Structure 1
Amino acid sequence: MTNALVLLGHFKDHVSVSVSEAAELLAVSPSSAHRTLATLRDNGFLRQRSGRRYEAGPMLVEIALGTLAQTGLRDVADPHLRELSRTVPAQIWLNKLADRRVHSLGMHVGIGVALAELHAVSRYPIHTSASGKLLLSHLAPSHIDSLYPDAVLETVTARSLRRKEQLLEELELIRRCEYAVQVGEQRKETAGVAVPLYGVADEILGVLAVTGPADEFDSDTRRSHLVRARSTAQAISRDIRGWIREFQWPRPTTA
């Protein structure tokens, strides 16, 4: 593991590495260095080009782009969220998944609606919010199983999902529709709809959520919120991709 991390760190300042260079860097035999390089290649972190040199693979590039996108997401999204809050009578959230909870990167209050504070969302189980369910729908089954090892789920209101099988069924529906809804599942007086934000590799960076009073969240309101949220999310995703393309990457010093 240590040798693999050292090799990946090599690409901070270099565009490629050979087996002999890797062996010298790691102070191991060429055969040992080759095995480590091959493992990284087989898992997508490196790719082998002509001349037997190894360079950054799609997985390493995706991680780098995802990290960069996360860095700029709040700044890129903020003016869009602010504009949406001027026309939608709701709270507008920018959320992501971290530390087994949903965390908010920002929130704007539209037209006098104030139902929760910025950090309130992190106090609740992931599956009780529209944002959380949407983020869960993009996780691998093994990751979901690690978060939910038991058949019975934690509930906070009478409308919270109670069983893992219910959650899995809803996550499959969310994957097909590309949005999530909750009504009274996290707090009985609130409801919300969430849509995804995508990066350059179509990876999910976070979600845009619109929340408001549950008693005002009828089908027409939900549809209206969804249309506006999707339009805003598409604009944010477009801008974050443009921001990354314009970013000046450090030029490697040596091959």
Structure 2
Amino acid sequence: MKSDGNSTEKAIPTNLRLLLLLEELARIGTPTTPTAANEVLGLPKPTIHRLFHTLEQEGFLQRDIDGRSYSPAPRLRNFAVSVLSSSRVRMVRKAVLEALARDVGETCAIVMPEKHAMVRLDRVETHRPLRIQLPQDYKMPFHTSASGKLYLSSLTARLFGKYIRATTLEAHTPYTLTNPDALTSEIVETLARGYGTNNQEYTEGMVAIAVPLLDKQDRLISTLSIQAPIQRTNLEELISHLPRLKTAAAELTELVLN
């Protein structure tokens, strides 16, 4: 039961308020307003808004596309990954990626969503001589990548609608989906089939597929992908690796959540 503002303010020590707020945001798991997050904490309205402002200013939270809600920013996501990825976890994670890359013969990566794009968390290159070389810190806009489409498919219809109306679907190649209706159809199909595809939409000559890594509430936390040059393979051949990709995804999920 929510207490009145003054008693709750005294009940929660000052040095715990930010931690408890972050805990509540993680529990909710979707873009959240200060009012919604405060239903459990019961802090005075000025206090909860001050906490959100502090977290936003320091790079832990970012304002969502509706202008009212907040979601984890890169600094908070990196913090969460660091907590989960002890040296042992990193070692095993790399081993899973290396085994997958060896079995499918192509480059494999774990990719996470940031505010406007997907960013790489970890990557194992293929040992074959022909490969796609991307910058270490590259960022792929959501509509251009297999992983980004998966992330978009995880949004609620309301949030995806706001995204598609607000964003500019910039063309990176002649194959990039820049028509909102075409992208919407692709996202609906991605949700239905459970994996994302990229057919030269970010870089000409590169195809990719991706599957989600989910938390215990079946929320997307990152993706696992395979990418390859079209000189060696095509999208249909990559899709044939889905069973092996899903097995590796299950191993990575178990590694993080258990």
TM range (shorter): 0.5 to 0.7
In 2, distance between residues paired with 1:72 and 1:151? 32
2:185 counterpart letter in structure 1: E
Tell me the SS of whatever aligns to 1:102. strand
The share of aligned pairs that are identical, in percent, is 20
2:134 pairs with 1:117: yes
Greater C-alpha radius of gyration: 1
In 2, distance between residues paired with 1:212 and 1:239? 26
Paired residue for 2:114?
Answer: 98
Tell me the SS of whatever aligns to 1:46. helix
Higher relative contact order (CA 8 A, sep 6+): 1
Q: 2:40 aligns with which of 39, 43, 46?
A: 46
Q: Structure 1 residues 45, 168: closer, same or farther in 2, change over 3 A?
A: farther
CA contact (8 A) 1:183 1:214 kept: no
Deviation of the 1:47 alpha carbon? 8.8
Q: Structure 1 residues 17, 219: closer, same or farther in 2, change over 3 A?
A: closer
Tell me the SS of whatever aligns to 2:120. strand
Answer with 150-159 or 69-78: which moved more. Answer: 69-78
Tell me the SS of whatever aligns to 1:216. coil
The correspondence of residues 148-187 of structure 1 with structure 2, limited to 5 A, is: 148-149=164-165, 153-187=169-203
2:103 pairs with 1:87: yes
2:8 pairs with 1:22: yes
Which 5+ residue runs of structure 1 have no aligned equivalent? 1-15, 27-38, 49-62, 243-255
Tell me the SS of whatever aligns to 1:231. helix
1:72 counterpart letter in structure 2: L
Q: 1:204 aligns with which of 200, 212, 220?
A: 220
CA contact (8 A) 2:196 2:210 kept: yes
Normalised by the length of structure 2, the TM-score is: 0.65
Paired residue for 1:223?
Answer: 239
Q: Structure 1 residues 17, 78: closer, same or farther in 2, change over 3 A?
A: farther
In 1, distance between residues paired with 2:141 and 2:255? 31
RMSD over aligned CA atoms reads: 3.4
Q: Structure 1 residues 67, 141: closer, same or farther in 2, change over 3 A?
A: farther
In 2, distance between residues paired with 1:228 and 1:107? 17
Which 5+ residue runs of structure 2 have no aligned equivalent? 13-32, 43-71
- Give CA-to-partner distance per residue, 1:28-47, whole Å, 9 cap, x none: xxxxxxxxxxx989668629
Paired residue for 1:72?
Answer: 84
In 2, distance between residues paired with 1:94 and 1:23? 41
Q: Structure 1 residues 23, 219: closer, same or farther in 2, change over 3 A?
A: closer
Normalised by the length of structure 1, the TM-score is: 0.66
- Give CA-to-partner distance per residue, 1:187-218, whole Å, 9 cap, x none: 11100000000112221110001000124333
What is the number of residues matched between the two proteins?
A: 200
CA contact (8 A) 1:136 1:144 kept: yes
Q: 2:249 aligns with which of 223, 233, 237?
A: 233
Deviation of the 1:219 alpha carbon? 5.6
Deviation of the 1:186 alpha carbon? 1.1
Tell me the SS of whatever aligns to 2:241. helix
2:84 counterpart letter in structure 1: G
Paired residue for 2:24?
Answer: none
CA contact (8 A) 1:90 1:212 kept: yes
CA contact (8 A) 2:207 2:234 kept: no
Deviation of the 1:184 alpha carbon? 1.2
- Give CA-to-partner distance per residue, 1:98-150, whole Å, 9 cap, x none: 1301110111012225312353640x432111111111111234433454435
Tell me the SS of whatever aligns to 2:240. helix
Answer with 218-227 or 99-108: which moved more. Answer: 218-227
